[in-house]
Structure 1
Amino acid sequence: MTRQVSRRRVFYIPGYDPIHPRRYRELYRKEGAAQAAISGYEIALKPKGGKGRYGWHITGRMDGAEVDTDVAVLVWSDIVRDSMGHSIPATYLGLVRTAWAYIGTGALWRLMRLRKGPVIAALYPVGFLLLQLVLALALGWGLGSLFNLGLARVGAGVAAPWAGIVLAGVVAVVVLRWFKARDGKFFAYYLMHDYSFSARSLGANPPALEARIADFADAIAEALAGDCDEVLVVGHSSGAHLAVSILADLIRAGRLPADGPVLSFLSLGQVVPMVSFLPRADRLRADLRYLSLREELTWVDVTAPGDGCAFALCDPVAVSGVAPEGKRWPLVISAAFTQTLSPERWKELRWRFFRLHFQYLCAFDRVGDYDYFRITAGPVTLADRYAGRVPSKSRIESAVSKYTSVAA
């Protein structure tokens, strides 16, 4: 039986992002207005009242109904910023550790069997940071050599070697700092910190993140004890695997009221294999296995082959090698960017890789059955919206991970 939604609570879990959560409110405001104009419904935003977690209130008018939605952003940007606060030498040390984590354990070769796009995205910061280092050293060596040559010609040959070495070092440092100061364009340092965050512990959650997961679980449990009709958890990018663990913890602990709201989970642009393929990701693999069996929620996983930063149409449970008998979730579907965006719009966005990774949160000018704003602000639950929907035929379900151990 279809359940009409008049009140909804949404918990949005961002990926590895150091930016203030107001970014997501402004993105929702702008893109929601664009989708409403395209699809012929109404969405109005206003600031969230009172104290507490950052969020906003939505009034959606669509399909002959009015729906009130409260959105809260589950913020872990402070943990992200702390993990990014490294010097240039520390970043290069992290590069070595990350390369070892994926190459030394064999995870990289397994990931390449899934999708090349996210693997290339992972290799990009390694390659570009090494290129920066080579350029810095080459320029330093070249200018240092020229300086030494000039000193030798004026009769200062004894001091020349040391002076040239000092100059070479100064030039190399200046070049490396120049690149780092402009990482807002290159994203090499940002992506390196992103991948090294999980790699440094080989897939295990650091204590600060485990504490935040418990805090997020408390917030969602409180909403489930309230009087809304649906509690919708949205995990984007790295936020998807955090959501998996949060929801698994909630259900294991029996924190879902028998007569409470519908519980829904929407994972978008997930990169789960980047963590679940690592040897110490036992906790995540156990949570994936557990959540895939549960009847207490609906889990829909949306990706698109056009998103080169996500493991598009890779069933995160199956490819991690932990799919149990009787597996129910997730329902893997495609946002199909080449079909849901007009040729003109697709041409504009095709090579903007980071922007495409956020397209799931944006308007589609040829929208299909995936509409982020109908899901979050409309009168239909996630389960009813996708009832009877078959999974994507091109999904990947092969067990690829070398490591399949799970936490006891």
Structure 2
Amino acid sequence: MNPRIGAGKTMSGKPVAKRLVFHIGGYDPITSHVTAQRRFVREIARFQRTWSVKAAVDGSHDTVDQIQWNVTTTGPDWLVETDYRLVRWHDVIEAFGRRSIGSRISVGILAFLDFVLAGTLWRYLLSNWRYALFFLYPLVTFGLLIAAAFLIGVFAFKITGSIPIAAGGGLFGFAAVLAGPWRWLHLGDLFDDWIFSREYIRCGNSEIEQRLDRLAAELVVAASNSAADEILVIGHSLGAVLAVDLLDRALKLDPALGRNKIPVTFLSVGSSILKIGLHPKAMRFRSTVERVAKSRAIFWGDYQALIDVLNFYKSRPMAEMGLSTENEATVRVVKLSRMLDDDIYQRIRFNFFRVHCQFVSGNDKRTSYDYFMLTCGPISAKSQTLAPDGAVSMIADDGGLIANAPLSESELPGNPGAAA
């Protein structure tokens, strides 16, 4: 058994007892904010089994901008109270989904052409070809389905020699595409994702901006008055883009954010920051990223995984965007396969969306990345990100803290840049 606190040794550094978390999810029309809350409760049960700890979730409270709940996690010799806030923007996502199919198709194709003609697709290929394939997937799939509908019309013409019947067959095939594969393959949602991304780059989104302004003010007040030991802003997928935007707005309100009282940590997990940042017209966003990165009081950790085609694996975000790398993100490459039991991993490995969501799900095994240990554990998120094995060497088999584990940030090595 590893030595424990109280066994004649002292802990290096002070464990986190209170944490404030702002979580911003990605563009996900399938998982509503209510479903996301249920997933949190379900997945934290896996966290308890894996790390031999206890957790209780209660006190759910809805506001216009977020859903809040309290999480209490305990080990044999520690207790953490987490004020967890899930930022809501599902209303914005739903608004895109309510547009007519004709509008979604036409504007979606325009958005794809924008990214292609602007040279963004080429930049995706240079940065991460897997993400480029993900970009092409909805457009190519839709094109193949339309081609199939056209071939139905051609086939009908060859059989009947009637142009009206051929046209009817083609229209029937097109209607079948919209009634079936368009919905089954979530092509409409993928089109909406790119429509939103183009809009965000070109002109912003007023609803999102107003919400981020209010949350930024709340974040600044919390940084000055909260009893938390750590404020964690975590963005998953496209939510990482909005998280950067949130932190930039908070820094404009308080340039000393994170320096005075409560440390602020930013984690981008399975991030789509480069999805936006590599577009030539995203000058405003790149400036936003640069301002956040230059704020040395805010630690930025970026988690990436090879099997997740929805993130930019093994990339250095600042360098890829042509920005200064003097204070770049600490990149951690993790293996999702090591987080799960083999049978579960084999079952989900070709479900790209489920794999992508592992970044915000519970683990079956102790590894260097664990969403719930980062958001609800006794070790600061920064310390876990900088430690080679995350919290693994800091938590004993029975869930207790290991004596002399480097919990203090001052005892950890400096920013390693890109770390495997």
In 2, are the aligned partners of 1:306 and 1:337 still within 8 Å (CA)? yes
Please show how residues 158-307 of structure 1 align to structure 2 within 5 Å. 161=163, 163-164=164-165, 167-168=168-169, 170-179=171-180, 183=183, 185-200=184-199, 202-224=201-223, 225-254=225-254, 256=257, 259-307=260-308
In 1, the alpha carbon distance for the partners of 2:15 and 2:342 equals: 35
1:4 maps to 2:39:
no
1:31 corresponds, among 37, 40, 43, to: 43
In 2, are the aligned partners of 1:269 and 1:303 still within 8 Å (CA)? yes
Q: TM-score, normalised by structure 2?
A: 0.82
Return closer, same or farther for 1:364/1:211 CA change in 2, 3 Å cut-off.
same
In 2, the alpha carbon distance for the partners of 1:379 and 1:308 equals: 31
In 2, the alpha carbon distance for the partners of 1:49 and 1:109 equals: 44
Equivalent position SS for 1:379: coil
Match of 2:390 in 1: none
Return closer, same or farther for 1:264/1:202 CA change in 2, 3 Å cut-off.
closer
Equivalent position SS for 1:367: coil
Greater CA deviation, 93-102 or 44-53? 44-53
1:58 corresponds, among 66, 71, 84, to: 71
Residues 254-275 of structure 1 show CA distances to partners (whole Å, capped at 9, x for unaligned) of 1637543221111110011111
Return closer, same or farther for 1:125/1:306 CA change in 2, 3 Å cut-off.
same
In 2, the alpha carbon distance for the partners of 1:49 and 1:200 equals: 31
Q: Which runs of 5+ in 1 are unaligned?
A: 150-159, 395-408
**What is the identity, as a one-letter code, of the residue corresponding to 1:253?**
L
Percent identity over paired residues: 23
Deviation, 1:110, is 1.3
In 2, the alpha carbon distance for the partners of 1:7 and 1:131 equals: 52
Please show how residues 1-400 of structure 1 align to structure 2 within 5 Å. 2-18=13-29, 19-49=31-61, 53-62=66-75, 64-143=77-156, 146=159, 161=163, 163-164=164-165, 167-168=168-169, 170-179=171-180, 183=183, 185-200=184-199, 202-224=201-223, 225-254=225-254, 256=257, 259-324=260-325, 327-385=326-384, 386=386, 387-388=412-413, 390-393=416-419
Return closer, same or farther for 1:142/1:222 CA change in 2, 3 Å cut-off.
farther
**What is the identity, as a one-letter code, of the residue corresponding to 1:298?**
F
Root mean square deviation of aligned Cα: 2.5
In 1, are the aligned partners of 2:22 and 2:232 still within 8 Å (CA)? yes
Return closer, same or farther for 1:247/1:200 CA change in 2, 3 Å cut-off.
closer
The number of residue pairs the alignment matches comes to: 378
Equivalent position SS for 2:23: strand
Runs of 4+ in 1 over 6 A off after TM superposition: none
In 1, are the aligned partners of 2:349 and 2:355 still within 8 Å (CA)? yes
In 1, the alpha carbon distance for the partners of 2:213 and 2:82 equals: 24
Q: Which runs of 5+ in 2 are unaligned?
A: 1-11, 387-411
Deviation, 1:38, is 1.7
